[in-house]
Amino acid sequence: MPTYTPPLRDMQFVMHEVLKVSDELKALPPHADVDADTINAVLEEGGKFAAEVAFPINISGDTEGCTLDKTTHAVTTPQGFKEAYAKYVEGGWAALSCDPAYGGQGLPFVVNQCFYEMMNSANQAWTMYPGLSHGAYECLHAHGTEEQKKIYLPKLTSGEWTGTMCLTEPHCGTDLGLLRTKAEPQADGTYRITGAKIFISAGEHDMTSNIVHLVLARLPDAPAGSKGISLFVVPKFKVNADGSLGERNAIYCGGLEHKMGIHGNATAQIVIDGATGTLVGQPHKGLAAMFVMMNAARLGVGNQSLGLTEVAFQNALAYAKDRIQMRSLSGTKAKDKPADPIIVHPDVRKMLLTAKAYAEGARALQCFCAVLLDKELSHPDEKVRKDSGEMLALLTPIVKAFITDNGFEATVMCQQVFGGHGYIKEWGMEQHVRDARINMIYEGTNTIQSLDLLGRKILGNNGASLKKFGKLVGQLVEEEGVNEKMAEFINPIAYLGDQMTKFTTEIGFKGLQNPDEVGAAAVDYLRVAGHLVFGYFFARMAQVALREIAAGNTDPFYGAKLQTARFYFAKLFPETATLMRTARAGSQVLMDTDLALA
């Protein structure tokens, strides 16, 4: 049976020693009093909840799945899910980073993000139920009317209700400009909404008394395409003036998707048959309002794969230390045993270290992005808010695509460490692989994230955002450029940082001649950018580790961090050279292929 230990030490290292989160928070009035001890205490308890409540029902939830009663349209979640959710609400975990004005605890987003990493390691399918509520909360907090905030935010904050986002329709996925769901204005100011949505995670369940659906639809006078989309809040049960639940709304689950993974989460086909909803934000501006939720979800999806990478690594490492098979090529290591533990074999170590490096790089990036979001929301200086938002926008597609691509690769490698046992359900590894696969697809496929990064976030502003990240790299290079002990970490990012300008300009120029050139290069480009970002954070982590060792700190944690960083730069970072070459190969070998694809 698999196990899980919350990686609190590494979280503390990233937050307190590398990013100096407490110092950053002192500049934010809502969080100025949040110190390291507070953060550590919260996450220690959060880790206990993840390991002791959510984790034990992960495999059973995957086995049992969700059940739909087609007569009543009610969905029953796996055994133990409802009880775990009640404990989650009772513990106040839903309110962790929510506004105190609506009953929240007001803790910074970075704390919530670390908590959710542990929850995703423990049980991604279960964690999606409360996780999606945060996006609904943020959307209504930013764009809802005062009445909508009063009705919905306290219940979403407490966890008494959950939320969803209803975007995709049977005939269109990410291209929301094609959606057909209609919203007819009513005399009382509400809207009558009719349509069908698919792939709605946590779209129906038995864990709360109400579900708050955020639904994209078109008004009668809506222009065609994405500029004609409006956003509506459509509750499962209508809400009376006094806040009590009224009659059942005409929005229900018509079917459950039979999926490769995340079986414990109800991925619903939602039928909207003249349901009553209210407008969120301005007419025809629904996509902009929904992007608050979508961007939060993209950070959340990256966090899902970080969680799966961590738990897969932990179990593969434990197995590799215990499983004996063959002898080491360099001579017997376990003389008291008939064979050596497989961890002595170089390629087994490569697989383990790949997962470890991808988890630790992702954790640093996730925490950095969470702090950027806290600064964007709460910093008193408008320029800092703007710069933080711009940097976060640049990094969001990297969080979503690079971390999830790496997460799938890492879970497959960890499954491989188990050999044949990795293919067997009881060990838990094949579930991690299946669960990780969806993260590369939903909230905008990773190809779309790549197009967003290269086309919109970089070429769209002539590389201004990329240059700002380049300044961070340049500052670190300048700071440590003459330190011989840092050379193996600094030289690779300095070289790649210099190459990125030429690489980006070249693709941008080719794209002006033929837009397909951007499409052909985008996926490779994002991975190059992802490695530059990971490389920067590994260099910063190595910097801290070297300083601690030089100061006489004998904690083996720091030596382990250096070994992981060295592996990353030696074995994973060099992928950038191949990626730049394939990106430069252009679009012709892809597009002039009618005979090959006939």
| pLDDT tens, per residue, the chain with 598 residues | 899 999 999 999 999 999 999 999 999 999 999 999 999 999 999 999 999 999 999 999 999 999 999 999 999 999 999 999 999 999 999 999 999 999 999 999 999 999 999 999 999 999 999 999 999 999 999 999 999 999 999 999 999 999 999 999 999 888 888 899 999 999 999 999 999 999 999 999 999 999 999 999 999 999 999 899 999 999 999 999 899 999 999 999 999 999 999 999 999 999 999 999 999 999 999 988 887 778 888 999 999 999 999 999 999 999 999 999 999 999 999 999 999 999 999 999 999 999 999 999 999 999 999 999 999 999 999 999 999 999 999 999 999 999 999 999 999 999 999 999 999 999 999 999 999 999 999 999 999 999 999 999 999 999 999 999 999 999 999 999 899 999 999 999 999 999 999 999 999 999 999 999 999 999 999 999 999 999 999 999 999 999 999 999 999 999 999 999 999 999 999 999 999 999 999 999 999 999 999 9
CA distances to 163, 255, 304, 428, 431 from 301, rounded to whole Å, are 16, 24, 5, 20, 17
517 tagged catalytic: no
Longest dimension (CA), the chain: 84
Tokens of 240: 């009376």
The residue ranges of every structural domain in the chain are: 8-143, 162-283, 464-591
Q: What is the DSSP letter of 78?
A: P
Predicted local distance difference test score (pLDDT) of residue 287: 86
d(CA 247, CA 134): 25
User: Does 8-143 match 162-283 in CATH topology?
Assistant: no
Number of Cβ within 10 Å of residue 50's Cβ equals 26
Long-range contacts of 390-393 (CB under 8 A, 24+ apart): 390/465, 390/468, 391/465, 391/468, 391/469, 393/295, 393/457, 393/465
Predicted local distance difference test score (pLDDT) of residue 186: 98
Q: Report the interhelical angle of 346-378 vs 382-417 (nearest 10°).
A: 160
Residue 8's identity, in one-letter code, is L
Predicted local distance difference test score (pLDDT) of residue 120: 98
Residue among 204, 443, 480, 517 flagged as catalytic: 443
Beta bridge partners of 268: 200, 256
Q: Is 280 helix (H, G, I), strand (E, B) or coil?
A: strand
Question: Is this model's pTM higher than 0.85 or not?
Answer: yes
Predicted local distance difference test score (pLDDT) of residue 294: 80
d(CA 247, CA 272): 15
- Are 396 and 363 in contact by the 8 Å Cβ rule? The answer is no
Predicted local distance difference test score (pLDDT) of residue 297: 87
Closest to 563 in 3D by CA, of 533, 535, 542: 542
Q: Name the architecture of domain 8-143.
A: Orthogonal Bundle (1.10)
Predicted local distance difference test score (pLDDT) of residue 292: 78
Q: Name the architecture of domain 162-283.
A: Beta Barrel (2.40)
